[in-house]
């Protein structure tokens, strides 16, 4: 079974399916080192925040640690909260 806490774009997508969405961001959890998400087990899992209205992931201090057009609503990304809103209307 794949470890969903490894920092990869596939695991971002997987966590988005169940991640809490509050105040415009999703809370994700990844292994971390020096307040950065990493793609290997470290013994520390930290919360990070995906802001789809910009495609950024921020750390606990809200510093940008990752950007991808793949997760940017201005570049065509449709987050689960938007998909659910569309299907519920």
pLDDT tens-digit readout, 49-58: 999 999 999 9
Does 4 map to a domain?
A: no
Q: Is 82 helix (H, G, I), strand (E, B) or coil?
A: helix
65: left (phi > 0), else alpha (psi -120 to 50), else beta?
A: alpha
Q: Which domain holds residue 27?
A: 9-88
62 within a domain of the structure (yes/no): yes
Query: Count of domains in the chain?
Result: 1
- The secondary structure of residue 53, as a DSSP letter, is T
Average pLDDT of the residues in 59-74: 95
**Mean pLDDT within 35-50:** 97
Q: Is residue 33 in a domain?
A: yes
Task: Judge whether residue 64 has pLDDT over 70.
Answer: yes
Q: Is residue 56 within 8 Å of 67, Cβ to Cβ?
A: yes
Q: How many CB atoms lie within 10 A of CB 32?
A: 21
3 assigned to some structural domain? no
44 found inside a domain: yes
């Amino acid at each position: 079974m794949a470890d969903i806490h490894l920092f990869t774009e596939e695991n971002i997508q997987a966590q988005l399916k169940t991640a809490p969405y509050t105040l415009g961001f999703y809370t994700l959890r990844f292994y971390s080192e020096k307040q950065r998400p990493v793609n290997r087990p470290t013994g520390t899992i930290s919360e990070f925040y995906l802001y789809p209205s910009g495609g950024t992931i921020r750390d606990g201090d809200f510093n940008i640690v990752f950007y991808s057009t793949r997760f940017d609503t201005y570049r065509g990304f449709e987050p689960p909260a938007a998909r659910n809103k569309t299907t519920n209307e």
